[in-house]
Structure formats: C-alpha cells, structure tokens
C-alpha cells in the first residue's frame, strides 16, 4: 500500500466517522477532514482515467452495492474502496450520472424506513462528493423497506437488504 492510498483511506475513514458521529450524513467539516488528495492519486487502476467500459470490467467499479449495519448510515471501512473508485469514475467522467437507491431491512415502520434509506443514500452521496464528485452527478432516492432483495426474517437476509445500490443513468 503506497502512501497516497493510505492517506486517502484515512480521509475516507474520517468521512465515515463524521457521518457516524452526527446522525445525518452531513458533509464533513473542513477542519475535521483533510481535503481529499488529487483524484488521480486514489485511482485503483495504474494510470489514466476510467472509461465506460471499466464499469463492466474493473473489479472495483463493478461493485455497485454498499451494505450497512442495522439502523446505521455510516459507510463501513470495507466499502470505502468502492466509494473511492465510484467517486473517481464520476470525477473522470463529468458527463456520468448516477442514482443512489437507499434501502433498509424490514424492521420498523415503512415511513421511518423511507427516511433511513434516504439517510444511507445521502451518506454515500456525501462521501462521493467529498472525493470530488459533483452533486449534480448524483440523484438520491429512498425505497425504504419496499424493495427487499431477500424476504426471510433473519439477519442474513436483513444484511442483504440494508444497502445503497449505485445505478448509473449516464455513463
């Protein structure tokens, strides 16, 4: 792991912690989080900019779901790399657009879960923007608990439903 990557991860972790500490995914305060390094430094690929073809071939970019803990909206460390490469894609391709679809598990009420799904999607949006993506590239939608991918009443299933799906609407 080279030094720039390490700094980037540290920055991302602070984003996650900031989102965790405050209940809603507010943008990190400048004094709390060092400004993100030049986007190129975060590149999971060796050199150059992402192209639309990478969306189907790049092992990081192909991962379009970010999973959350129960009733939480902070991005866990193991998903920071996915956020980083998706952010780089948005930076590399200003014409690219994505929708972040926030989802929850079945526990709790439908309307509260709409709020929680939105909080998760906004947490991902804030992290992407902190890494240089433009707010205009990102649309947030919450489905709450209305679109489960798994319908059983157990933690394995719930874990699959607590997610933000990244859907590119323009590549």
Contact residues toward another protein (CB under 8 A) are: 22-24, 26, 71, 106-112, 114-116, 118-119, 140-143, 146-147, 151-153
Asked if residues 114 and 142 have their Cβ atoms less than 8 Å apart, the reply is: yes
10: CB partners within 8 A, 6+ apart: 34
Q: What is the closest distance, in whole angstroms, from the C-beta atom of residue 137 to another protein in the complex? A: 15
Q: What is the closest distance, in whole angstroms, from the C-beta atom of residue 103 to another protein in the complex? A: 12
Phi, psi (deg, nearest 5) at residue 73: -130, 5
Exposure of 47 by Cβ count < 10 A (0-12 exposed, 13-18 middle, 19+ buried)?
A: exposed
Distance CA(61)–CA(59), nearest Å, equals 6
Residue (91 or 116) nearer to another protein, CB: 116
Residue (59 or 112) nearer to another protein, CB: 112
Q: What is the closest distance, in whole angstroms, from the C-beta atom of residue 15 to another protein in the complex? A: 18
Distance CA(147)–CA(165), nearest Å, equals 11
Count Cα atoms within 13 angstroms, Cβ side, for 52.
9
Residue (51 or 109) nearer to another protein, CB: 109
Residue (93 or 119) nearer to another protein, CB: 119
Residue (45 or 159) nearer to another protein, CB: 159
Q: What is the closest distance, in whole angstroms, from the C-beta atom of residue 33 to another protein in the complex? A: 19
Q: CA-CA distances (angstroms) from residue 130 to 44, 70, 125, 162?
A: 17, 24, 8, 23
Q: What is the closest distance, in whole angstroms, from the C-beta atom of residue 104 to another protein in the complex? A: 11
């Amino acid at each position: 792991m080279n030094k720039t990557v390490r700094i980037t991860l540290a920055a991302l972790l602070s984003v996650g912690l900031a989102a965790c500490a405050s209940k809603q995914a507010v943008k990190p305060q400048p004094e709390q989080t060092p400004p993100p390094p030049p986007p190129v430094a975060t590149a999971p690929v060796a050199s150059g900019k992402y192209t639309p073809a990478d969306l189907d071939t790049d092992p990081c970019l192909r991962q379009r779901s970010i999973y959350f803990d129960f009733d939480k909206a902070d991005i866990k460390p193991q998903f920071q790399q996915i956020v980083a490469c998706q952010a780089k894609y948005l930076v590399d391709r200003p014409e690219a657009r994505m929708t972040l679809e926030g989802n929850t598990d079945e526990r709790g009420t439908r309307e509260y879960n709409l709020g929680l799904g939105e909080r998760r999607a906004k947490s991902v949006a804030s992290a992407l923007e902190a890494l240089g993506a433009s707010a205009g590239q990102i649309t947030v939608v919450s489905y709450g608990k209305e679109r489960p991918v798994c319908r059983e009443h157990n933690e394995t299933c719930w874990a699959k439903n607590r997610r933000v799906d990244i859907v590119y609407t323009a590549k």
